[in-house]
Amino acid sequence: MTAVEAPAATGKAAAAISQKQPRSRLSEGTTRRSRTIRYILLLLFLLFVLTPVYVVLITSFKTSSDTTAAAQWSLPQTWTLEPWRKAWDVLQPYMIRSLSLAIPAAIISSMIGSVNGFVLARWRFPGANLVFAFILFGMFIPYQAVMLPLRTTFQELDVTRGVPTLIVAHCIYGIPICTLIFRNYYATIVPEEIIESARVDGAGLVQTYARIILPISISGFVVTLIWQFTSVWNDFLFALFLTQQNNGPVTLGLAALSGGQKVDYAASMAGALITSFPTLIVYILLGRWFIGGLMAGALKG
């Protein structure tokens, strides 16, 4: 390169740099605006979601005279814990029955779903796909379609309506979704070579499941336990048909608290918050493993 060409090349490079700078500044401005719009939309969505929570929370601390339609958005004129005391006195026995219902039902249905998922995913047998299809068919049967036949069946079997009846019903109804979750989980996570090695070593179905599969199923169990616990805890239709007011779960207690000719809105809101605490605690304690189970493939198709 000659002495005349060198300044020309330098000038071209400087011109190219000066052209890139406005473009980079333009892209940075566009990114900043898109990020600002995204944050604004998220903030609006958060306000939309939290608005009912705000109304429920402030209403639970109001007196009966403050719970009017005109004052539903305003803070309580007199803060009181009486609605919470009333709601707890009514719901305490129902809460105990719901815990004795939701915990066993979630554990039993998760264990059955885990065994089914392992057999259908890694311990194949003739007609496994057909059996899996029949199991999944149970997910598409609405509660309303089986409620009366199920109640008649329990009556003919002379089974007393109460928590044990609900445990059986929720375990049966929870098997399809738990089987689906664990089948996809084992098909994604467990290598086929591990199962073949266990077979070569002489391990049977039970030994392979107990010693190899079960220890690596924590993430899958967290997903199914949260799912089943939440479903059982929030169920009202099964409780209405298969239990009575004196032996039913917390959803019946909440209905009784808000029923009557004169509704105590403050106590009803406090009761709604009280009944939501157990599921909230479950999500807080197991939320990290729940996300891990989802990422590990527990809900992959």
**Do 162 and 271 have their domain in common?**
yes
Instruction: Let me know whether 104 and 247 are in one domain.
Output: yes
Closest CA to 110 of 235, 214, 243: 214
Question: Can you give the C-alpha Rg of the chain in angstroms?
Answer: 29
The verdict on residue 37 lying in a domain is yes
Q: Is residue 237 part of a domain?
A: yes
Q: Is residue 51 situated within a structural domain? A: yes
Residues 291, 145 within the same domain: yes
Residue 92 pLDDT: 93
pLDDT tens-digit profile, the chain (301 residues): 554 454 544 555 445 545 545 556 656 767 788 888 999 999 999 999 889 899 999 999 998 777 776 677 888 888 899 999 999 999 999 999 999 999 999 999 999 999 999 989 887 788 888 999 999 898 888 888 888 888 888 888 887 788 999 999 999 999 999 999 999 888 887 777 787 888 888 888 888 888 888 888 888 898 899 999 999 999 999 998 898 888 889 999 998 887 766 778 889 999 999 999 999 998 888 777 766 666 655 444 4
* Same domain for 216 and 140: yes
Q: What is the pLDDT of residue 21?
A: 53
Question: What's the total number of domains in the chain?
Answer: 2
* 49 and 165 assigned to the same domain: no
Residue 68 lies in a domain: no
The boundaries of the domain holding residue 195 are 82-295
Please report which residue ranges of 123-138 form alpha helices under DSSP H: 128-137
Q: 132 and 26: one domain? A: no
pTM (2 decimals)? 0.80
In the chain, which residue ranges form alpha helices assigned H by DSSP?
Answer: 5-59, 82-122, 128-137, 143-156, 163-189, 192-200, 205-208, 218-234, 237-242, 250-258, 265-295
CATH code (residue 290): 1.10.3720.10
Nearest one of 109, 103, 96 to 249, comparing CA atoms: 96
Residues 44 and 155 in one domain: no
Q: What pLDDT was estimated at residue 178?
A: 93
273 in the same domain as 164: yes
